[in-house]
């Protein structure tokens, strides 16, 4: 029966993204650009206007995987996005299942956290390679929970952890953030395990960097990009939303309090919470989330989920025999509840994007109002990059703003910063207008009934509040159509 419950849990985790994708769900950002890049076959320097500091993308391994998948299957960008959403959700949400005595415990924890922290389900459905780091963190913390105090790692455990961290860093290059679980081991008093994990982290990071063929650039680019994204903005308001500080709320304290009460009521024989590395990763993620919300979303929350499932797993293993019919009934009930909780389209969270309007280059209505070959698409809204590049991965133009604004040349970043600081004031766009050439276009969102008040350009409303501006064309001779 234990194997049957595991398969039930795995199938449930697979059915969730599969069901959501049937609604037409499409994520909003990085999943689109990774898929489009795989289809385009071009380096980022041919797609974006980049500053001299850019060297290599920090998602090297994921983009290599998608390129190989595109070449092998012929899938275009939309199918690659579907693959990304489904595969990465299954990896993130299913990583804990094989490591638990009672996999149904994880289904219960997913229900609890998807309900208590609604943004979590959306974040795990965004098709971004950060979910591989979430999965690796989950596996790592569950494995560490089994190490007794003072335990030395076997050679097999060391190799496994090194391989896990190498894969995570190769796909999602934020290698420096793995210092959090290393620090957590020392804070929890597991010094030998901490030293072993530190060695696995350094070795795994080195292997991942070597696998890119640009080891030094890969490691330094990740740190430089993070530093620039945080520190080139005098105010947090102009950063992208997920890098802004945010209150992590009371969820950490509510869960910790519930665990303490549960341990007493159930008389669980469990190590002290402070002896668990997951406790310290959750605490560090909660604290650092007030500086950057990703610490909580991607590190603190998964660690808190691991901390909670450890106790629930212990309780269920003691309370119900492995072959109990009640266990099977509970597992089916949890699976059904999890499906309802996650696939529910509450607040149109999965279908909101169906009204999104794209700008395909082959649309005759847009002729003359998208960049021409060799041109540049100027925009202060990154959605123009994600959506237009996704729709036109082979288009022969570049984007001044891509997936990270601090990758832009310094003068363009300053223009963008002034636009954001002034809430999109027309005058802030003027430096871009002055440097535009005939093949270039400026895209903005404005009232469909009134052209943007940005002088020096002629404007055309495209669709859905999107306007395209270009340098005025010479007047055509009488009777000659003008594009």
**Average pLDDT of the chain to the nearest whole number:** 92
* Segment among 33-47, 102-116, 152-166, 180-194 with least mean pLDDT: 152-166
Alpha carbon 170 to its chain centroid, in Å, reads: 15
* Closest C-alpha among 251, 254, 308 to residue 119: 251
Q: Which residue has the tokens 């990071």?
A: 205
Residues across the chain? 483
Q: φ and ψ at 277, to 5 degrees?
A: -55, -35
- Determine the pLDDT at residue 323: 82
Neighbours of 328 (CB within 10 A): 16
What is the rounded average pLDDT of the residues 194-200?
94
Determine what percent of the chain is predicted with pLDDT higher than 70: 96
- Determine the pLDDT at residue 275: 92
At 72-105, the pLDDT tens digits run: 999 999 999 999 999 999 999 999 999 999 999 9
Helix (H, G, I), strand (E, B) or coil at 452: coil
Determine what percent of the chain is predicted with pLDDT higher than 90: 79
What is the rounded average pLDDT of the residues 4-15?
95
Those residues with Cβ within 8 angstroms of residue 318's Cβ, 6 or more apart along the chain or in another chain: none
**DSSP state, 374?**
T
* Closest C-alpha among 326, 310, 323, 332 to residue 8: 332
- Determine the pLDDT at residue 58: 85
At 373-393, the pLDDT tens digits run: 999 999 999 999 999 999 999
Does residue 483 surpass a pLDDT of 80? no
- Determine the pLDDT at residue 30: 93
- Determine the pLDDT at residue 49: 96
Pairing of strands 466-470, 458-463: antiparallel
Does residue 478 surpass a pLDDT of 80? no
At 281-314, the pLDDT tens digits run: 999 999 999 999 999 999 999 999 999 999 999 9
Rounded (5°) CA angle 13-18-21: 135
- Determine the pLDDT at residue 155: 81
At 222-273, the pLDDT tens digits run: 998 888 888 888 888 888 888 888 877 889 999 999 999 999 999 998 899 9
- Determine the pLDDT at residue 151: 57
Tell me the CA end-to-end span of the chain in Å, nearest whole number: 68
3-state secondary structure 147-183: CCCCCCCCHHHHHHHHHHHHHHHHHCCCHHHHHHHHH
Distance CA 164, CA 135 (A): 10
What is the rounded average pLDDT of the residues 63-68?
96
Q: Are 199 and 193 in contact (CB under 8 A)?
A: no
Pairing of strands 458-463, 398-399: unpaired
Q: The tokens of 58 are what?
A: 């920090």
- The DSSP secondary structure of 71-114, one letter per residue, reads HHH---HHHHHHHHHHHHHHHHHHTTGGG-S-THHHHHHHHHHH
């Amino acid at each position: 029966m234990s194997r049957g419950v595991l398969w039930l849990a795995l199938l449930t985790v697979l059915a969730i993204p599969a069901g959501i994708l049937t609604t037409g769900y499409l994520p909003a950002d990085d999943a689109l650009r990774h898929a489009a890049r795989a289809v385009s076959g071009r380096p980022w320097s041919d797609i974006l206007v980049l500053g001299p500091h850019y060297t290599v993308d920090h998602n090297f391994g994921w983009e290599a995987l998608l390129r190989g998948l595109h070449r092998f299957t012929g899938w275009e960008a939309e199918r690659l996005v579907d693959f990304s959403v489904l595969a990465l959700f299954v990896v993130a949400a299913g990583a804990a299942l094989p490591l638990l005595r009672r996999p149904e415990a994880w289904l219960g924890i997913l229900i609890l956290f998807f309900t208590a922290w609604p943004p979590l389900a959306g974040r795990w459905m965004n098709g971004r390679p950060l979910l591989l780091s979430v999965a690796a963190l989950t596996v790592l913390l569950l494995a560490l929970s089994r190490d007794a105090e003072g335990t030395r790692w076997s050679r097999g455990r060391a190799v496994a952890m090194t391989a896990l961290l190498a894969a995570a860093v190769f796909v999602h290059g934020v290698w420096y953030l793995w210092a959090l679980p290393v620090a957590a081991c020392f804070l929890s008093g597991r010094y030998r395990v901490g030293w072993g994990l530190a060695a696995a982290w350094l070795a795994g990071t080195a292997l991942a960097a070597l696998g890119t063929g640009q080891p030094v650039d890969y490691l330094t680019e990740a740190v430089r990009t993070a530093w620039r994204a945080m520190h080139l903005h005098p105010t947090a308001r102009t950063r992208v939303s997920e890098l802004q500080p945010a209150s992590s709320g009371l969820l950490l304290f509510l869960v910790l309090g519930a665990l303490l009460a549960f341990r007493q009521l159930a008389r669980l024989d469990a190590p002290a919470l402070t002896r668990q590395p997951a406790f310290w990763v959750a605490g560090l993620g909660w604290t650092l989330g007030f500086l950057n919300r990703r610490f909580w979303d991607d590190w603190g929350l998964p660690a808190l989920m691991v901390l909670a499932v450890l106790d629930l797993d212990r309780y269920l293993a003691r309370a119900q025999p492995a072959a109990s019919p009640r266990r099977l009934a509970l597992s089916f009930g949890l699976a059904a509840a999890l499906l309802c909780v996650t696939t529910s389209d509450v607040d149109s969270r999965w279908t909101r994007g169906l009204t999104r309007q794209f700008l395909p280059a082959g649309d005759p209505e847009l002729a003359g109002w998208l960049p021409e070959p060799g041109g540049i698409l100027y925009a202060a809204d990154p959605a123009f990059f994600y959506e237009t590049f996704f729709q036109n991965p082979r288009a022969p133009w570049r984007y001044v703003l891509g997936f990270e604004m601090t990758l832009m040349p310094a003068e363009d970043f300053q223009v963008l910063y002034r636009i954001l600081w002034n809430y999109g004031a027309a005058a802030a766009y003027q430096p871009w207008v002055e440097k535009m050439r005939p093949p270039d276009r400026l895209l903005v969102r404005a009232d469909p009934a009134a052209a943007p008040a940005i002088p020096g350009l002629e404007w055309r409303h495209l669709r859905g509040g999107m306007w395209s501006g270009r340098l005025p064309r010479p007047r055509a001779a009488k009777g000659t159509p003008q594009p």
